[in-house]
Structure 1
Amino acid sequence: MLNLERLRTLDALARHGSVSGAADGLHVTTSAVSQQLAKLEREVGQRLLARNGRGVRLTDAGRLLAEHAARILSQVELAQSDLEAQRGQVVGELRLAAFPTGARGLFPAALCHLRARHPALGVTTAEVEPAPAVRAVLRGDADLAVVLDWYNKPLPVPEGLVRAPLLDDPVDVALPATHPHADRADAGLEDFAADDWISWGDDEFCHEWLLDTLRSKGVEPRVAHRAQEHATQLALVAAGLGVCVAPRLGRGPLPAGVRAVPVRQAVRRHVYAVW
């Protein structure tokens, strides 16, 4: 009889495309993955893997068994859920992904509520930027992703995925307390045309949004510093090194010496779930 854990390992290899990827997805070592696959080959009496340069690929038999494994594992999980549902319990493993401020702002309270309602449900979380999070749902590596886009820059979501709005997140401009606009009730993005900006990396969705939005206001931004985390961006603002956009979700208290001024144009992030 085929071993479910070994089928799960084969399924992970097929989805991730490498032994190291399967190990990461299963939270085990690469040697554990290799051992499980070797045992599975002995069980079925056929070669399931072939060398492919420095990696491996599935043989025809391996691909065939991987297709069956995906269906078998899905049915086993469904059977477990149905049996527990008869007892009034929700069970299984729920894998969640969210962008960092979304995870910080939403997960703690939501997961405490979920655990209280469904104590038999296992939940794992990961901080993942929006576009990779959508791809993780497509690959089956996450069951649900909390993602964001902007009022003027939507995030592409492939057909076949469900998209449900959660909230709109207002955005402020964070600036040093000594800045001329620090005490204003609100400001336009164009009011910061002469300032150094603190942004994300070149290939980040939010960085592209910032450049596009400022340019639409007639501002060619001077990006002096780049940081992935809002906390780092705010620390640079506190040091007087520039200004940055500061969404409110998951932001927490501002560092000493930093002010947050609402954006007059009501700039918002749209936060939603994808599965």
Structure 2
Amino acid sequence: MELSLHRLRMLRELHRRGTVTAAAAALNYTASAVSQQLAQLERDVGSKLFERLGRRVQLTEAGEVLTEHAEEILRSVERAANALENTKGGVVARLTAGVWASVASGLLPRALTTLATDHPGVEVRTRELAPEDTAGAVRDGALDFSFVIEYSDYPMPWDPALTKVVIAVERLHAAVPTGALPGAPVSLADLADQRWILAGPRSHFGRAVRLACQRSGFEPKISHEVGEQATALAMVAAGLGVTLVSDLGLSLRPDGVEVVPLTEPVMRTVSIAYRTSSATRPSLHLVIDAVRAAAAEQGLGAASPLP
């Protein structure tokens, strides 16, 4: 019997997520592709591994046994890959990173250009995810590392299986239609009567901004709820309302948007998260060094030593 690591990862995700659709989304596949691969895994082992219960699935006894061993096998493969990387004279590795728009446009180009020049054997591929999903994808093995954020008004719970290294510290600024607010800086309270363009309350950004406004004594009047910062800024440029934008998000600013500093700073940290079991990978630390240098060149550096 030959077991495919690829299919074992799918079985592990099915166990964690409870549905084929959720497992497929976590692995960036279609549900039909995951179903086909799991069916092949059942043929490989000669046993039924799961049963459908409505929209959810339940592992059989054989499925539970194989999933338990899959966890050990996949951890062993990761340890072996880490050990091999440490034996090479020059670092050669391919890493997959979780990013979101402002990091991808405002920080990564400079960092990856430097990395390609100094360490051409290290290749970084990216997957754009919602900031709320990146850490979970690292924990589950779908990514090697990801960028994560934490706001001064909204601290995040942390998974002890992950290590977090701060690489940048950003301010949030008011983004308003050009000429809408003469004079600067402004307080959040000065924006209480404005129409707001903001991400939903379940997003880290949307929740953090709502809390900051509430602490300033008002509930923002949200006219447009959008998830993407670039979309929000385009709507600001069209005169549809105001929003907040981070330092890295300024790279997405279109014409017609004026950036105004806040009198009471709202801060956020940008970190790189990776599995603690990957802490000895040289390639990972080379990437962290390159990203930190790029952040420092933009005045966003954070003095946080590598673990």
TM normalised by structure 1 equals 0.84
Task: Report the Cα distance in structure 2 between the residues aligned to 1:131 and 1:272, rounded to whole angstroms.
Answer: 13
Q: Does the residue aligned with 2:251 lie in a helix, a strand or coil?
A: coil
Residue aligning to 1:156? 157
Task: Report the Cα distance in structure 2 between the residues aligned to 1:239 and 1:31, rounded to whole angstroms.
Answer: 41
Give the AA of the match of 2:162.
L
Residue aligning to 2:3? 3
Q: 1:241 to 1:10 in 2, by over 3 A?
A: closer
CA apart distance, 1:119? 4.4
Q: 1:108 to 1:79 in 2, by over 3 A?
A: same
Q: 1:217 to 1:113 in 2, by over 3 A?
A: same
Task: Report the Cα distance in structure 1 between the residues aligned to 2:121 and 2:72, rounded to whole angstroms.
Answer: 24
1:156-188 Cα distance to aligned partner (Å, 9 max, x none): 21334322211111222111223242xx24121
Residue aligning to 1:177? 178
CA apart distance, 1:262? 0.9
Residue aligning to 1:107? 108
Task: Report the Cα distance in structure 2 between the residues aligned to 1:46 and 1:256, rounded to whole angstroms.
Answer: 61
Q: 1:31 to 1:266 in 2, by over 3 A?
A: closer
Q: Does the residue aligned with 2:107 lie in a helix, a strand or coil?
A: helix
- C-alpha contact (below 8 Å) 2:201/2:210 kept by paired residues: no
Residue aligning to 1:61? 62
- Give runs of aligned pairs for residues 1-275 of structure 1, distance below 5 A: 1-4=1-4, 5-54=6-55, 56-91=57-92, 93-121=94-122, 123-181=124-182, 184-252=183-251, 254-275=253-274
Q: Does the residue aligned with 2:47 lie in a helix, a strand or coil?
A: coil
- C-alpha contact (below 8 Å) 1:171/1:266 kept by paired residues: yes
Larger mean CA deviation between 226-235 and 42-51 belongs to 42-51
- C-alpha contact (below 8 Å) 1:129/1:147 kept by paired residues: no
- C-alpha contact (below 8 Å) 2:105/2:251 kept by paired residues: no
Q: 1:93 to 1:72 in 2, by over 3 A?
A: farther
Give the AA of the match of 2:215.
S
Task: Report the Cα distance in structure 2 between the residues aligned to 1:146 and 1:57, rounded to whole angstroms.
Answer: 33
Q: Which runs of 5+ in 1 are unaligned?
A: none
Task: Report the Cα distance in structure 2 between the residues aligned to 1:218 and 1:67, rounded to whole angstroms.
Answer: 51
Q: 1:89 to 1:55 in 2, by over 3 A?
A: farther
Task: Report the Cα distance in structure 1 between the residues aligned to 2:237 and 2:29, rounded to whole angstroms.
Answer: 41
- C-alpha contact (below 8 Å) 2:132/2:203 kept by paired residues: no
Task: Report the Cα distance in structure 2 between the residues aligned to 1:58 and 1:92, rounded to whole angstroms.
Answer: 35
CA apart distance, 1:91? 4.8
Q: Does the residue aligned with 1:123 lie in a helix, a strand or coil?
A: strand
1:74-95 Cα distance to aligned partner (Å, 9 max, x none): 3234324433432324455533
Q: Percent identity?
A: 39
Number of aligned residue pairs? 273
Higher-Rg structure is 1
- C-alpha contact (below 8 Å) 1:48/1:61 kept by paired residues: yes
Give the AA of the match of 1:235.
A
Give the AA of the match of 1:187.
V
1:53-80 Cα distance to aligned partner (Å, 9 max, x none): 3554321111211221232233234324
Q: Which runs of 5+ in 2 are unaligned?
A: 275-307
- C-alpha contact (below 8 Å) 1:81/1:91 kept by paired residues: no
Task: Report the Cα distance in structure 2 between the residues aligned to 1:34 and 1:222, rounded to whole angstroms.
Answer: 44
1:213-248 Cα distance to aligned partner (Å, 9 max, x none): 122222332222222122222222222222211212
Q: Does the residue aligned with 1:252 lie in a helix, a strand or coil?
A: helix
Give the AA of the match of 2:245.
A
Q: 1:64 to 1:171 in 2, by over 3 A?
A: same
Q: Does the residue aligned with 1:251 lie in a helix, a strand or coil?
A: helix
Task: Report the Cα distance in structure 2 between the residues aligned to 1:58 and 1:122, rounded to whole angstroms.
Answer: 37
Q: 1:130 to 1:36 in 2, by over 3 A?
A: closer
Q: Does the residue aligned with 2:260 lie in a helix, a strand or coil?
A: strand
Over the aligned positions, Cα root-mean-square deviation in angstroms equals 2.8
- C-alpha contact (below 8 Å) 1:131/1:155 kept by paired residues: no
- C-alpha contact (below 8 Å) 1:189/1:263 kept by paired residues: yes
Larger mean CA deviation between 37-46 and 23-32 belongs to 23-32
